[in-house]
Amino acid sequence: MRAGIGLDSHRLEPGRRLVLGGVEIESEVGLAGHSDADVLTHAVMDALLGAAGLDDIGRHFPDGDPRYRDADSVELLRVVAGLVAEAGFEPVNVDATVACEAPKLDPHREAMRARLADALGLEEGAVNVKFTTGERMGFVGRREGIAALAIASVREA
């Protein structure tokens, strides 16, 4: 059994879509980035890559690469699942926390779990998603951005 962690953050800007865990959420501001800037999915990807000893997301999906412009991060997570399998591992479980002041994410929790679990070939019960706020402190609390932290475990397949 091996574990890995992932941490990511993206800036909130007007005129961008807000996509978290592969779920589009109605919001006046969205996350800025080269891909869809799905901070939760990016943290999960880095956690899995870490658990399998495969470096990080930036090595596999370089920021400036036009192939990843506005990319659907859940599709990139499927690629990561394939890399993990090629390395001889299978995901066991994922747990993640999203730090977001607004909007309220709770109504979207089950949909996020379902999309992430589907991409990883896991039961929904093996993918947990938690939410917290910044208590009006720091970049999360000032609604300048959203951060996500994830841990993943894998076992030899």
* Burial class of residue 33 (count of CB atoms within 10 Å of its CB; 0-12, 13-18, 19+): buried
Local structure of residue 71 (DSSP, 8 states): -
Site string for Mg ion, 103-142 (x = CB under 5 A): ----------------------------------------
Shortest Cβ contact with Mg ion: which residue? 42
Site string for Mg ion, 17-56 (x = CB under 5 A): -------------------------x--------------
Q: Are strands 89-99 and 127-132 parallel, antiparallel or unpaired?
A: parallel
Peptide bond into 103 cis (omega under 30): yes
* 8 forms part of the interface with Mg ion (CB under 5 A): yes
- Residues in contact with Mg ion, counted by CB under 5 A, come to a total of 2
Q: Which two tokens stand for residue 30?
A: 């969205």
DSSP secondary structure string, 33-55?
Answer: SSS---HHHHHHHHHHHHHTT--
Q: Compare residues 42 and 108 and give the one whose CB is closer to Mg ion.
A: 42
Q: Compare residues 63 and 135 and give the one whose CB is closer to Mg ion.
A: 63
**Which residues in this chain contact Mg ion in the complex, by CB under 5 A?**
8, 42
